[in-house]
Amino acid sequence: MATFKDFRNNIKPNWCPGCGDFSVQAAIQRAAANVGLEPEGLAVVSGIGCSGRISGYINSYGFHGIHGRALPIAQGLKMANKDLTVIASGGDGDGFAIGMGHTIHAIRRNVNVTYVIMDNQIYGLTKGQTSPRSAAGFVTKSTPGGAIEPEIAPMEMALTAGATFVAQSFSSDIKELTALIEAGIQHNGFSIINVFSPCVTYNKINTYDWFKENLTKLSDLEGYDPSNRAQAMSTLMEKQGLVTGLIYQNKEQPSYQDLVPGYSETPLNRHELALDEATFDELVKEFM
């Protein structure tokens, strides 16, 4: 049986020292081992940005996609090979700016993929501009007078779009983060996990200390029920989204694959798809 060390490779991450993404990488590796995966049973798909490099830092199948397009690639992989565990990853810009349309439709489609967002509330790779997750008044190179737009509320958005698994964590709490990724992998449907992953170089507001002072663990709230969607939404609004833990899970909703008529029990990548010459010629005649 594989251990988390089997999901390591010899490529050294070039993230800034102290970046929260190191913990996200470690949590994915530990979660994969804990649920019994082997490296060849996992595919990690990423987009562009600091977080996009993660697909090359894990010993598994990896695909470094283009900006905002990790989710279409991940869904295609899962539809073609249902036996493969697929994790999509990206930053808040990747998922909530250029890729927001894909995020919304992946949520409502409910393909059995786990999506891990490294949310640092800034554009780190391009040297510190405002992102969709930067708060109003946030001063950066692109908003020297302070951002005039409010930040996106991703977990409220996910609930509104009909997500069946919604969770949030903090990169310094690797035990909780690992457990949430495990639960996301085991969930039958689309799992969205937002991770507060501080940018130590460009974001001097949303620091590790800031999060430790402002985050609330849902497990500490008496009577919180993650199967209660209305309670999940009201709690997010009350706490301004600054919560960690399993926010909501619907175990009853079938996944996209469960609903596709005639979807084969045998993964599509194992089907014999070659055409004989006569069949090919007949198909070509339809267009001649």
Which two tokens mark 111?
Answer: 């393909």
pTM value is 0.93
Query: What confidence tens digit (pLDDT) does each residue in 145-194 have?
Result: 999 999 999 999 999 999 999 999 999 999 999 999 999 999 999 999 99
pLDDT at 126: 87
The number of angstroms, rounded, from the C-alpha of 16 to the middle of its chain's C-alpha atoms is 21
What number is the average pLDDT over the span 108-114? 97
In the 3-class helix/strand/coil scheme, how is the chain assigned residue by residue? Answer: CCCHHHHECCCCCCCCCCCCHHHHHHHHHHHHHHCCCCHHHEEEEECCCHHHHHHHCECCEEEECCCCCHHHHHHHHHHHCCCCEEEEEEEHHHHHHHCHHHHHHHHHHCCCCEEEEEECCCECCCCCECCCCCCCCCCCCCCCCCCCCCCCCHHHHHHHCCCCEEEEEECCCHHHHHHHHHHHHHCCCCEEEEEECCCCCCCCCCCHHHHHHHCEEHHHCCCCCCCCHHHHHHHHHHCCCCEEEEEEECCCCCCHHHHCCCCCCCCHHHCCCCCCHHHHHHHHHCCC
Distance CA 125, CA 111 (A): 29
- State the fold for domain 4-258: Rossmann fold (3.40.50)
CB 57 within 8 A of CB 44: no
pLDDT at 134: 93
Lowest mean pLDDT among 84-98, 112-126, 179-193, 265-279: 265-279
Query: What confidence tens digit (pLDDT) does each residue in 252-283 have?
Result: 999 999 999 988 888 877 888 788 899 899 99
